[in-house]
Structure 1
């Protein structure tokens, strides 16, 4: 399982791979990427940035503020060549850490910069991990369903359906990758 700091580092490297960003914008984009369940505080972001500065993966530049409301200069973070190499190295990993719940979403967000063979290995690894989890949960559910109240059973059923849905989604992505087809967007609900 990846540490939260490593997940933040991968996300920062990926965002800075796209363009230089100042701290506020970086945090805003990270929060969009991480989702509502894992909001990132400045107390987590800035120590990660300092570590990445010490590692030589990013550099900072002071830029005068363009806002009349603020006279403080902004610090803009930019990827270095070493940071670019680290991002490529991290995105090339295909082992269990790449399939992990903590890092898969971040890695998936940057799949466009990854070789198809690596994408397939990560998607297949994730699907296998989820299928194993699904079998385990379904087995436990069958054993404990009689002992649960209806709400606990409903929560477990919801968990099973969520994993089944993700397994189907991963299978569709894998098939599209193998066929060389673009990722298909899900149909939008009809407007009434």
Structure 2
């Protein structure tokens, strides 16, 4: 997801590494903090792959700054990753949020809709954190207060996400408002 975030933010505008890190941290928050030890090697991989380029500009004070920007190949890579996200980017909530942050860059609304429909299909599959006899437990069946809480929160979140997905798909496909 780090590389997707880098490509997505650089698609929007060239950035200094520190500014890029700040935006990625704002997106992922406390859940997945970004260290320099992860960010800069990822940038280096993308530069070596020809997806990102670096140039040096004068700094606001005395030190020069390295500015990162997306190459045409990088733009194509971002769009390909958005068009065909990995299964984990659909099934993991935080990864899906990262995908959503940049999905607007796909110019084809039918491709946007296809991604949303994949998430919708995943959410429509019965699941639980806990099982008994290979059947998912509902919040009401959970054995303790804390597991009941987990399941109730997940159910409420899932209900709202399903509602939003239906609205978003309708809008993207031209059947609803903005």
- Partner Cα separation in structure 2 for residue 118 and residue 38 of structure 1: 28
Q: Tell me the SS of whatever aligns to 2:170.
A: helix
Q: Tell me the SS of whatever aligns to 1:60.
A: strand
Residues 1:51 and 2:42 aligned together: no
In 1, are the aligned partners of 2:104 and 2:112 still within 8 Å (CA)? Answer: no
In 1, are the aligned partners of 2:138 and 2:151 still within 8 Å (CA)? Answer: no
1:35-46 alignment to 2 at 5 Å? 35-46=29-40
Q: Which runs of 4+ in 1 moved over 4 A?
A: none
Tell me which residue corresponds to 1:171.
166
In 1, are the aligned partners of 2:139 and 2:147 still within 8 Å (CA)? Answer: no
- Partner Cα separation in structure 1 for residue 162 and residue 168 of structure 2: 10
Q: CA deviation at 1:97?
A: 4.8
Q: CA deviation at 1:119?
A: 0.9
Gaps of at least 5 residues in structure 2 are none
Tell me which residue corresponds to 2:14.
20
In 2, are the aligned partners of 1:58 and 1:83 still within 8 Å (CA)? Answer: yes
| RMSD of aligned alpha carbons | 2.2
Larger relative contact order (Cα-Cα within 8 Å, sequence gap ≥ 6): 1
Residues 1:118 and 2:108 aligned together: no
Q: CA deviation at 1:130?
A: 1.2
Q: TM-score, normalised by structure 1?
A: 0.79
Match of 1:141 among 112, 133, 137: 137
Gaps of at least 5 residues in structure 1 are 1-6, 184-192
**Larger CA deviation: 106-115 vs 55-64:** 106-115
Residues 1:83 and 2:74 aligned together: yes
Give the total of aligned pairs: 171
- Partner Cα separation in structure 2 for residue 22 and residue 76 of structure 1: 5
Q: TM-score, normalised by structure 2?
A: 0.85
- Partner Cα separation in structure 1 for residue 123 and residue 75 of structure 2: 31
Greater helix share, 1 or 2? 1
In 1, are the aligned partners of 2:4 and 2:78 still within 8 Å (CA)? Answer: yes
Tell me which residue corresponds to 1:103.
95
